[in-house]
């Protein structure tokens, strides 16, 4: 008999450890370890050849004590309600950690969008909104794009919602195109948020990052902007980058514009002139000042953690460091910044999009980035103070602070003590 891995069971175990560290009451633990609501529905779609298919769809609201649920919608063939429950729970902690007035949710459709035509994808997206139209709302639950979901899909969902309700409600979804009530500054927000957190950590810890060396694993949406903004805003010297095919390393530094042009032309960073080839495993173990894992989950494990030589790790991917590795890194004196804060910049600009939609008044890119900096640096300072007071590492401090904020809101509402 095979026992399948349950992401939700993993998230609950993680929550149990935090609840124990916070000494939460049994009633609070029982309440917070499960979602408050979940919707499971079907979407019938007429395909281009005239046939009909029925898709399974979900929306999970883990907790909305601190504000409307917030979280992505994923279109993926392997989607499950189990993973959505876990991701919705993590969204509750993430929004609380940045101190946004939001809760946590997640949704998904079991489908393979790469096998659908554009018209089929539009019917499916509109069908998702039809099925969820009375479950979500700008003051209830606000979906955003996630795996294989684009700004165009969010635009179709917005339109469907407005047709159903007969009024303009642009804040019903975020991640919309800028020309249809989206926010400026969303494109580089995740990388920018991580760079602001790294800069604030350097400042507080007395670590001079100007001229400090950095390595970036993953050279996609996030990694490219980490390279650019790391140089522009912090004065980092990026000596190594990698993608799924391998990496490039030059201890004298990799020039951003030249490398980006190379990547765009050859579809990879490998074979970049004036750089040595390096594997992804070697990149992680380079003796750099700052390491940015910006590709995949679980890349730093109990196996390679003892060989990590970076002084600071800024995890932008989701869950790049396993709990076992985190313990080893902490014991070795590596500064591991809280992952769910480091990669919260995109989520924070999504919240700014909601705020602009609510006011029907739109901000300049400069206003967005200034507010993002303010939110990220304040959030890091709160984690730092909590970590010092509780004498725990940043990663644990971030989780404890987030869960404590949610539990406090639940108590104040009188739901559970
Ligand atoms: P992306 O698909 O644009 O880029 C991923 C990069 O990782 C690519 O360069 C790819 O070649 C590389 N890669 C793939 N397999 C690899 C491997 N085995 N070793 C090294 N590199 C590998 O994705 P992205 O949007 O840049 O997101 C990167 C990570 O950040 C993901 O974990 C994502 O969940 C997380 N994240 C992204 C955002 C966002 O706003 N894009 C927000 C929060 C978290």
Question: What's the pLDDT score for residue 394?
Answer: 96
Query: What's the structural domain count of the chain?
Result: 2
Average pLDDT value for residue range 65-84: 97
- Taking every pair of Cα atoms in the chain, the longest distance, rounded to a whole number of angstroms, is 65
Residue 232 lies in a domain: yes
CA distances from 214 to 62, 64, 223, 238 (A): 37, 38, 12, 5
Q: Is 280 in the pocket of ligand 1 (CB under 6 A)?
A: yes
- Same domain, yes or no: 210 and 302: yes
pLDDT band at residue 80 under the 50/70/90 scheme: very high
Instruction: Tell me, in angstroms, the distance from the centre of ligand 1 to residue 221's CA.
Output: 7
Residue 377 lies in a domain: no
- Same domain, yes or no: 93 and 168: yes
At residue 115, does pLDDT exceed 90?
A: yes
Average pLDDT value for residue range 60-82: 97
Selecting among 70, 106, 176, 237, the annotated active-site residue is 106
- Same domain, yes or no: 158 and 256: no
- Same domain, yes or no: 222 and 323: yes
Residue nearest to atom 18 of ligand 1 (CA): 244
Q: Is 294 in the pocket of ligand 1 (CB under 6 A)?
A: yes
Closest to 202 in 3D by CA, of 193, 215, 212:
212
Question: What's the pLDDT score for residue 1?
Answer: 46
Q: Is 317 in the pocket of ligand 1 (CB under 6 A)?
A: yes
Instruction: Tell me, in angstroms, the distance from the centre of ligand 1 to residue 340's CA.
Output: 15
- Same domain, yes or no: 205 and 93: no
pLDDT band at residue 274 under the 50/70/90 scheme: confident
- Same domain, yes or no: 269 and 197: yes
Question: What's the pLDDT score for residue 320?
Answer: 94
Q: Is 263 a catalytic residue?
A: no
Q: How far apart are CA 59 and CA 372, in angstroms?
A: 28
Q: Which domain CATH number covers 62?
A: 3.40.50.10860
- Same domain, yes or no: 170 and 49: yes
Q: What range defines the domain where residue 40 resides? A: 36-177
User: In this structure, are strands 213-217 and 237-243 parallel, antiparallel, or unpaired?
Assistant: parallel
Using the atom order of ligand 1, give the atom closest to the CA of residue 296. 32
pTM: 0.95
- Angle at 350 (CA atoms; ends 348, 356), nearest 5 degrees: 105
Closest to 318 in 3D by CA, of 4, 11, 52, 49:
11
Residues 25-48 have pLDDT tens digits of: 999 999 999 999 999 999 999 999
Average pLDDT value for residue range 267-287: 96
Average pLDDT value for residue range 298-302: 95
> Last residue of some domain: 119, 153, 177?
177
- Listing from the earlier edge strand, what are the strands of the sheet with 104-110? 37-46, 52-63, 104-110, 69-76, 141-145
Question: What's the pLDDT score for residue 157?
Answer: 98
Q: Which domain CATH number covers 277?
A: 3.40.50.720
Average pLDDT value for residue range 259-277: 96
- Same domain, yes or no: 152 and 195: no
Question: What's the pLDDT score for residue 318?
Answer: 87
Residues 332-359 have pLDDT tens digits of: 999 999 999 999 999 999 999 999 999 9
Q: How far apart are CA 404 and CA 401, in angstroms?
A: 5
Residue 371 lies in a domain: no
Residue 375 lies in a domain: no
At residue 208, does pLDDT exceed 50?
A: yes
Closest to 283 in 3D by CA, of 249, 329, 321, 319:
249
- Same domain, yes or no: 148 and 235: no
User: In this structure, are strands 276-278 and 246-249 parallel, antiparallel, or unpaired?
Assistant: antiparallel
> Last residue of some domain: 283, 316, 342?
342
Residue 260 lies in a domain: yes
How many C-beta atoms surround the C-beta of residue 165 within 10 A?
13
- Same domain, yes or no: 336 and 202: yes
Instruction: Tell me, in angstroms, the distance from the centre of ligand 1 to residue 217's CA.
Output: 9
Residue 402 lies in a domain: no
- Same domain, yes or no: 57 and 112: yes
- Same domain, yes or no: 195 and 338: yes
At residue 323, does pLDDT exceed 90?
A: no
At residue 3, does pLDDT exceed 80?
A: no
> Last residue of some domain: 128, 155, 177?
177
At residue 12, does pLDDT exceed 60?
A: yes
Q: Which of 220, 224, 245 to mutate to test the pocket of ligand 1 (most atoms within 8 A of CB)?
A: 220
Average pLDDT value for residue range 4-14: 90
pLDDT band at residue 196 under the 50/70/90 scheme: very high
Closest to 236 in 3D by CA, of 347, 311, 341, 319:
311
pLDDT band at residue 4 under the 50/70/90 scheme: confident
Question: What's the pLDDT score for residue 409?
Answer: 98
Residue 309 lies in a domain: yes
């Amino acid at each position: 008999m095979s026992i399948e891995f349950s992401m939700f069971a993993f998230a609950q175990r993680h929550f149990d450890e935090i609840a124990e560290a916070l000494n939460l009451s049994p009633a609070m633990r029982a309440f917070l370890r499960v979602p408050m609501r979940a919707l499971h529905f079907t979407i019938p779609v007429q395909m281009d050849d005239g046939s009909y298919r029925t898709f399974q769809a979900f929306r999970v609201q883990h907790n909305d004590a601190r504000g409307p649920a917030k979280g992505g919608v994923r279109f993926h063939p392997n989607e499950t309600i189990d993973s959505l429950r876990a991701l919705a729970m993590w969204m509750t902690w993430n929004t609380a950690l940045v101190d946004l007035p939001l809760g946590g949710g997640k949704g998904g459709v079991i489908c393979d969008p790469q096998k659908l035509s554009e018209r089929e994808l539009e019917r499916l997206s509109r069908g998702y909104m039809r099925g969820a139209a009375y479950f979500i709302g700008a003051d209830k639950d606000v979906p955003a794009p996630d795996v294989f979901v684009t700004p165009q899909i969010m635009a179709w969902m917005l339109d469907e919602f407005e047709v159903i309700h007969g009024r303009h409600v642009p804040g019903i979804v975020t991640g919309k195109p800028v020309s249809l009530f989206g926010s400026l500054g969303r494109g580089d927000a995740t990388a920018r948020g991580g760079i602001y957190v790294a800069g604030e950590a350097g400042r507080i810890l007395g670590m001079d990052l100007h001229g400090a060396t950095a390595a970036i694993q993953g050279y996609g949406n996030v990694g490219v902007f980490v390279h650019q903004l790391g140089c522009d805003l912090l004065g980092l010297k990026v000596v190594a980058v990698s993608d799924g095919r391998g990496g490039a390393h030059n201890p004298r530094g990799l020039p951003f514009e030249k490398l980006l042009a190379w990547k765009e032309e050859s579809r990879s960073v490998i074979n970049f002139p004036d750089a040595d080839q390096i594997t992804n495993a070697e990149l992680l173990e380079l003796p750099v000042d700052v390491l940015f894992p910006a590709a995949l989950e679980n890349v730093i494990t109990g196996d390679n953690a003892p060989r990590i030589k970076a002084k600071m790790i800024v995890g932008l991917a989701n869950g790049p460091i396993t709990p076992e590795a985190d313990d080893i890194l902490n014991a070795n004196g590596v500064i591991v910044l809280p992952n769910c804060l480091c990669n919260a910049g995109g989520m924070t600009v999504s919240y700014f999009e909601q705020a602009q939609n609510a006011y029907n008044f739109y901000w300049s890119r400069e206003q967005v980035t200034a507010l993002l900096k303010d939110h990220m640096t304040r959030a890091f300072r709160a984690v730092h103070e909590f970590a010092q007071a509780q004498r725990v590492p940043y990663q644990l401090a971030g989780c404890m602070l987030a869960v404590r904020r949610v539990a406090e809101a639940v108590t104040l509402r009188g739901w559970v003590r």
